[in-house]
C-alpha cells in the first residue's frame, strides 16, 4: 500500500471522474491533497472532509504571489482538523514575471505560520535552490519535505541534516533523471517520501498522460531497483516516513 505525499485532486482535470477515481484507489492508504492558493486549499479541505484517507495541506504557491498574500485567511484554513501541513509553498524563479522579492516575503510569512501552529512545510523549489535552502535554514523551526526534488546530492544531504524529507515522484522513472537517481541511491530510504504531483508528471510508462495515485507503483518500483531492495519494503518505509512527518496514524 502507498502513501501519496503530494497530489492536486482539486484540479479541473479530475472534474469528470474525481469521485469514482478516488473511491476506487484500492492500493493507496493515504493522500495529502495540496493547495496552491486559498481556493484550491479550501477545495483540498473539502476532499479531506469527504474521504477519510485524504488529508489537506494549505498554502499559496509562488506563482500566485501577485494575486494572493492573505496570511490571516490562510491561518483560518490551516487550523482546521484535517490540515496536516502548510504547502505547497516556496520559490519559483523559472519565469521572470513573478517578483522574487514578493515570493521571498510570502515564503517567509508562510514558514512563520507553520512555525506558529507547528505544522510541517511542503516546499516547491524551481530554479531557486540556493535561496530556498538558505531561507529554510534561517527561518524554519518545523520540518517538512522538498517536493519533486530537483537539486543535487549534496544539497539533499544538507536538507536531511535539517530534518527534511526528499519527495520523489514520476521524474525518477525518466531516462534523463540521472542526477535524481544518484540522490535516491545515496540518501537513506528513511528520508524519502513518494508522491505523484497529480495530475502532473506521470511516470513511465504513462508519461504525458494524466497522473493519479495508482501510478505510485512505478515510482516505488524504480526506487526499489536503485536501492536493490524489495518493492514492498520501499512502499512500507516511505509510508511510515509520511505518517511520521504528517503525524497520521492508521
pLDDT digits (tens, 9 = 90+) for 61-96: 999 987 877 899 999 999 999 999 999 999 999 988
Angle of helix 71-78 relative to helix 38-50, nearest 10 degrees, comes to: 10
What is the separation of C-alpha 94 from the centre of its chain, rounded to a whole number of angstroms? Answer: 19
What pLDDT, on a 0 to 100 scale, did the predictor assign at position 66? Answer: 78
pTM of structure: 0.96
Q: Which of 64, 66, 62, 60 is nearest to 86 (CA)?
A: 60
pLDDT tier for residue 38 given thresholds of 50, 70 and 90:
very high
Evaluate whether 74 touches 114 at the Cβ level (below 8 Å). no
User: What residues have CB less than 8 Å from 40, skipping those under 6 apart?
Assistant: 8, 10
pLDDT in tens, 12-31: 999 999 999 999 999 999 99
CATH class name, domain 2-246:
alpha beta
Q: What's the pLDDT at 135?
A: 98
Give every CB contact of residue 93 below 8 A, 6+ residues apart in sequence.
100, 126, 127, 128, 131
The number of angstroms, rounded, from the C-alpha of 131 to the middle of its chain's C-alpha atoms is 19
Residues 207-246 pLDDT 10s: 999 999 999 999 999 999 999 999 999 999 999 999 999 9
Amino acid at each position: 500500500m502507498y502513501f501519496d505525499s503530494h497530489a492536486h485532486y482539486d484540479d479541473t482535470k479530475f472534474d469528470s471522474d474525481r469521485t469514482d477515481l478516488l473511491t476506487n484507489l484500492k492500493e493507496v492508504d493515504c493522500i495529502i491533497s495540496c493547495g496552491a492558493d486559498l481556493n484550491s486549499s479550501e477545495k483540498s479541505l473539502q476532499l479531506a472532509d469527504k474521504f477519510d484517507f485524504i488529508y489537506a495541506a494549505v498554502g499559496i504557491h509562488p506563482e500566485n504571489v501577485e494575486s494572493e498574500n492573505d496570511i490571516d485567511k490562510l491561518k483560518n484554513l490551516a487550523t482546521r482538523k484535517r490540515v496536516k501541513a502548510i504547502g505547497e509553498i516556496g520559490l519559483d524563479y523559472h519565469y521572470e514575471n513573478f517578483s522574487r522579492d514578493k515570493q521571498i516575503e510570502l515564503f517567509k510569512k508562510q514558514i512563520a505560520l507553520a512555525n506558529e501552529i507547528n505544522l510541517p512545510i511542503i516546499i516547491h523549489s524551481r530554479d531557486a535552490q540556493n535561496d530556498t535552502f538558505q531561507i529554510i535554514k534561517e527561518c524554519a523551526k518545523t520540518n517538512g519535505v522538498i517536493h519533486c526534488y530537483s537539486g543535487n546530492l549534496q544539497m539533499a544531504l544538507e536538507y536531511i541534516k535539517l530534518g527534511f524529507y526528499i519527495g520523489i515522484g514520476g521524474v525518477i522513472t525518466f531516462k534523463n533523471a540521472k542526477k535524481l537517481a544518484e540522490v535516491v541511491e545515496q540518501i537513506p530510504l528513511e528520508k524519502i517520501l513518494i508522491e505523484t504531483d497529480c495530475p502532473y508528471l506521470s511516470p513511465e510508462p504513462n508519461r504525458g498522460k494524466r497522473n493519479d495515485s495508482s501510478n505510485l507503483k512505478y515510482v516505488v518500483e524504480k526506487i526499489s531497483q536503485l536501492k536493490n531492495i524489495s518493492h514492498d519494503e520501499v512502499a512500507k518505509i516511505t509510508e511510515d516516513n509520511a505518517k511520521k512527518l504528517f503525524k497520521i496514524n492508521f
